């Protein structure tokens, strides 16, 4: 079957993906049926990761159509196939995943520890006589959870992290491709215990345990490591570096999650903006007017648009690095520690911006934002989930702040070289917070060693530093992207206003901090609300053009097809 070369949007507007909200909730099987349906329509047996632009478009459209479909798609195409390719899985296993014969999953986290990816207790013990691995869950707390593998009827192949023991020694955390279930049920030795259903992003979540499951040597994602016939073990990485390399599989998630969250946020804003333009309200002073004429609606929705487009700009620079696989696989390499921090912080930035955008849209839309048939509540479920999923935002921020404060090469850039006044202001905040944190850690250290009590006392300051860093890097990126000469004459003034709005809203919560340090004047602080209002009033006549900037196919705004029928005045095109 030839690969599909038509408009990808058409794949998501056929009858298979028509919105259907049952009284007893969404069908648990629909994300996986949707995944296989898309695979059959795409007609391409190559992994989608072979074409980053195509994969990004498919994931964005999936998130706009059904966040649960996106959830299944990114785990399958990125966390299973991506990791399999990067770590050198056998070609036939990659082919079975790429065809949709097996649906991929990723089992990293364990029940008993927060941040468990760095302290895996599931064991994979090498049996030299059989040249097999024995996969085992040693305690109830080592069960893998949560994993969306609880549904019968689908063959599932998972990337599983386990503590590798060979030759009687701990070799670090390694990755394995493990069949969990076929169409008839769990595989031998695999216990899959469904978890209680959740109303937010409902999937077939489960807890998974392994009881001495025998795995062939080929199931080990060796990544350049090997065990010779005499049992001698070779790995170009030591145990600690191997663990970091295995945990680094999260980069595939960050590339996918950022584009999905940004797409959901843009779809939510497009829906809410269109609704506000066509919805009539009866105001006690103005009478019958459009909802968008109200300043409170403008502040919510134009702020949401700025958040969603900023999230998109950050997300689209994340995929190239997050999804990069060298020819032949990574073989013990992968992004550097600094690049991994950037990818992780990009995930945090996009998750926060996208969640803010959808929250504003739901607030502006009233009841429209509550019922699932309109989509906003589903988008909110996705953005809420990934404030913790894919790496907890707060832990990521603290890890980044620790690196900034303890690495000599992580000093914030000088503010004099920043482009534009806003990045200079944000650089100054980051530099001052960095100095404050490093000074506090130095004062509390003993013999140059920072102990837990000292660090623990400074974690709120550390989080503020990481937030200042992401605010600065986002503003610099937006300045370069939205103010570039190649931006169209139609879009430039809109993007310029959205850039200013974004920066004003990043500044306002910290106005007291800036004022106390003499970086702004009292008059500038008092003027902040009106400066935001002025931008919003200027954007009102361009609300339709702004909606077009969001790049959401009109066919996917499922609730607006209903809203326009009910609310649009006669004669409006």
Q: What pLDDT is recorded for position 291?
A: 85
Nearest-angstrom CA–CA distance, 95 and 58:
19
Q: Give the DSSP H/E element, type plus range, for residue 146.
A: strand 144-148
- Residues 205, 428: Cα–Cα separation, whole Å: 45
Distance (Å) of CA 24 to CA 27, 28, 199:
9, 11, 11
Q: What is the pLDDT of residues 14-44, one digit of tens each?
A: 888 876 555 556 788 999 999 999 999 998 8
Tokens read off for 472:
């600065």
145 alpha carbon, distance to own chain's centre: 19
Which residues have C-beta within 8 Å of that of residue 284, sequence separation ≥ 6?
none
Residue 208 vs residue 556, higher pLDDT: 208
Largest interatomic CA distance in the chain: 87
Other C-beta atoms lying within 10 Å of the C-beta of residue 330: 19
- Please tell me the predicted confidence (pLDDT) of residue 115: 54
Helices (runs of H) and strands (runs of E) counted in the chain: 20, 14
pLDDT at 412: 86
Query: Cβ distance 144 to 207 under 8 Å?
Result: yes
Crossing angle between the packed helical segments 491-507 and 295-316, to the nearest 10 degrees: 100
* pLDDT at residue 567 greater than cutoff 50: no
pLDDT of residue 561 exceeding 50, the answer is no
Give the confidence band of 537 by pLDDT, cuts at 50, 70, 90: very high
* pLDDT beyond 70 at 167: yes
Query: How many other CB atoms are found less than 10 A from the CB of residue 395?
Result: 14
Give the Cα separation of 505 and 401 in Å (integer).
23
Per-residue model confidence (pLDDT) at position 326: 83
Average pLDDT over residues 93-114: 90
Q: Do strands 144-148 and 190-194 pair parallel, antiparallel, or not at all (unpaired)?
A: unpaired
CA distances from 73 to 1, 10, 53, 492 (A): 21, 18, 15, 34
Measured from the Cβ of residue 324, the count of other Cβ atoms closer than 10 Å reads 16
Which among 139, 112, 109 has a CA at the least distance from the CA of 123?
A: 139
Token pair 């056929």 is at which residue? Answer: 14
Evaluate if residue 3 carries a pLDDT over 90. Answer: no
For residue 237, give both structure tokens: 């990485």
Closest CA to 330 of 154, 94, 168, 87: 87
Determine the Cα angle at 95 with ends 89 and 99, to 5°: 140
In the predicted structure, residue 341 carries a pLDDT above the cut 50: yes
List residues bridging with 174 in a β-sheet.
162
Q: How sure is the predictor about 466, in pLDDT bands with cuts at 50, 70 and 90?
A: very high
Range list of H helices, 248-392: 250-278, 295-316, 319-322, 337-365, 376-385
Task: Assign 255 to helix, strand or coil.
Answer: helix
Helix (H) or strand (E) holding 104: strand 103-107
Please state, in angstroms and rounded to a whole number, the distance separating the CA atoms of residues 262 and 270.
12
Least confident of 57-71, 435-449, 450-464, 502-516: 435-449
- Where b means 16+ CB within 10 Å and e means fewer, 26-38 reads bebebbbebbbbb
Residue 351's pLDDT band, with cuts at 50, 70 and 90, is very high
Could you tell me the pLDDT band of residue 11, with boundaries at 50, 70 and 90?
very high
Q: For residues 81 and 67, give the distance between their C-alpha atoms in angstroms, rounded to a whole number.
A: 20
Q: What is the 3-state secondary structure (H, E, C) of 182-235?
A: ECCEECCCEEEEECCCCCCCCCCEEEEEECCEEEEHHHECCCCCEECCCCCEEC
Give the separation between CA 18 and CA 153, rounded to whole angstroms: 23
Contacts of 429 (CB under 8 A, 6+ apart): 468, 471, 472, 510, 513, 514, 519
pLDDT at 564: 35
Percent of the chain with pLDDT over 90: 77
Confidence bin at 120 (pLDDT 50/70/90): very high
Total count of residues recorded for the chain:
573
Q: What span, in angstroms and rounded, lies between the C-alpha atoms of 269 and 277?
A: 12
Structural domains for the chain:
8-99 (no CATH), 104-225 (2.40.110.10)
How many CB atoms within 10 Å of residue 374?
Answer: 26
**C-alpha radius of gyration, the chain, whole number:** 25
Instruction: Note the pTM of the prediction, 2 decimals.
Output: 0.93
DSSP reduced 3-state for 46 = coil
Closest CA to 391 of 345, 355, 453, 449: 345
Q: What is the pLDDT of residue 25?
A: 61
- pLDDT exceeds 70 at position 505: yes
pLDDT tens-digit series, residues 40-51: 999 888 899 999
Judged by average pLDDT, the poorest of 180-189, 372-381, 499-508, 560-569 is 560-569
**Angle, CA of 566, 570 and 573, to the nearest 5°:** 95
Average pLDDT over residues 256-262: 98
Taking alpha carbons only, the member of 200, 173, 135 closest to residue 389 is 200
pLDDT in tens, 395-437: 999 999 999 999 887 888 887 766 678 999 999 999 999 999 9
DSSP 3-state of 510: helix
- Name which residue leads in pLDDT, 165 or 13: 165
Structural contact between residues 364 and 294, judged by C-beta atoms closer than 8 angstroms: no
User: 3 and 40 in contact (C-beta within 8 Å)?
Assistant: no
Is 471 within 8 Å of 424 (Cβ atoms)?
A: no
**DSSP secondary structure code for residue 413 in this structure:** P
How does the average pLDDT of the chain come out, rounded?
Answer: 91
The confidence band for 573, taking pLDDT boundaries of 50, 70 and 90, is very low
Asked if residue 57 has pLDDT above 90, the reply is: yes
Using CB atoms within 10 Å of the CB of residue 505, give its burial: 0 to 12 exposed, 13 to 18 middle, 19+ buried.
middle
Phi-psi region for residue 332, left (φ > 0), alpha (ψ -120 to 50) or beta? left
């Amino acid at each position: 079957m030839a690969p599909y070369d038509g408009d990808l949007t058409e794949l998501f507007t056929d009858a298979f993906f028509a919105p259907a909200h049952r009284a007893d909730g969404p069908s648990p099987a629909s994300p996986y049926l949707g995944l296989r349906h898309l695979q059959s329509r795409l007609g391409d047996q190559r992994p989608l990761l072979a074409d980053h632009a195509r994969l990004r478009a498919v994931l964005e459209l999936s998130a706009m159509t059904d966040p649960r479909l996106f959830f299944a798609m990114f785990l399958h195409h990125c966390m299973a196939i991506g990791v399999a390719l990067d770590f050198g899985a056998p070609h036939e296993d990659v082919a079975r995943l790429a065809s949709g014969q097996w649906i991929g999953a990723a089992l990293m986290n364990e029940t008993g520890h927060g941040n468990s990816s760095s302290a895996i207790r599931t064991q994979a013990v090498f049996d030299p006589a059989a040249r097999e691995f024995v996969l085992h869950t040693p305690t109830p707390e080592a069960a893998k959870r949560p994993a969306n593998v609880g549904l019968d009827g689908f063959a599932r192949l998972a990337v599983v992290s386990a503590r590798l023991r060979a030759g009687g020694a701990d070799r670090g955390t390694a990755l394995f491709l493990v069949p969990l279930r076929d169409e008839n049920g769990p595989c031998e030795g695999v216990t899959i215990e469904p978890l209680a259903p959740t109303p937010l992003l409902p999937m077939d979540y489960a807890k998974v345990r392994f009881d001495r499951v025998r795995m062939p040597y080929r199931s080990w994602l060796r990544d350049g490591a090997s065990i010779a016939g005499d049992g001698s073990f070779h790995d170009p990485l030591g145990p600690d570096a191997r663990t970091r390399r295995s945990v680094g599989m999260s980069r595939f998630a960050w590339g996918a999650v950022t584009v999905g969250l940004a797409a959901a946020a843009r779809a939510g804003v497009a829906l809410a903006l269109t609704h506000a333009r066509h919805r009539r309200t009866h105001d006690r002073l103005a009478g019958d007017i459009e909802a968008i004429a109200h300043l409170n609606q403008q502040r919510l929705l134009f702020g949401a648009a700025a958040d969603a487009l900023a999230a998109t700009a950050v997300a689209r620079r994340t995929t190239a690095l997050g999804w990069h696989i060298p020819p032949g696989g990574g073989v013990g390499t992968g992004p550097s520690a600094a690049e991994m921090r950037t990818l992780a912080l990009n995930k945090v930035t996009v998750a926060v911006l996208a969640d803010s955008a959808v929250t504003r849209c739901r607030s502006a839309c009233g009841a429209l934002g509550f019922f699932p048939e309109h989509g906003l509540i589903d988008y909110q479920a996705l953005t809420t989930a990934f404030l913790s999923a894919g790496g907890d935002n707060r832990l990521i921020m603290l890890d980044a702040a620790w690196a900034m404060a303890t690495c000599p090469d992580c000093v914030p850039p000088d503010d004099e070289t920043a482009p534009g006044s806003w990045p200079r202001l944000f650089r100054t905040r980051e530099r001052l917070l960095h100095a404050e944190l490093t000074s506090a850690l130095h004062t509390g250290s003993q013999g140059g060693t920072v102990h837990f009590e000292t660090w623990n006392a400074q974690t709120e300051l550390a989080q503020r530093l990481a937030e200042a860093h992401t605010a600065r890097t986002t503003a610099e990126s937006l300045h370069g992207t939205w103010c570039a000469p190649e931006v169209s004459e139609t879009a430039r003034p809109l993007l310029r206003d959205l850039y200013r709005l974004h920066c004003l809203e990043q500044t306002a919560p910290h106005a007291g901090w800036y004022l106390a340090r003499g970086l702004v004047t009292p008059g500038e602080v008092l003027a902040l609300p009106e400066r935001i209002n002025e931008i919003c009033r200027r954007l009102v006549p361009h609300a339709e053009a702004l909606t077009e900037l969001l790049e959401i196919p009109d066919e996917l705004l499922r609730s607006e097809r209903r809203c326009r029928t009910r609310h649009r005045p006669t004669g409006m095109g």
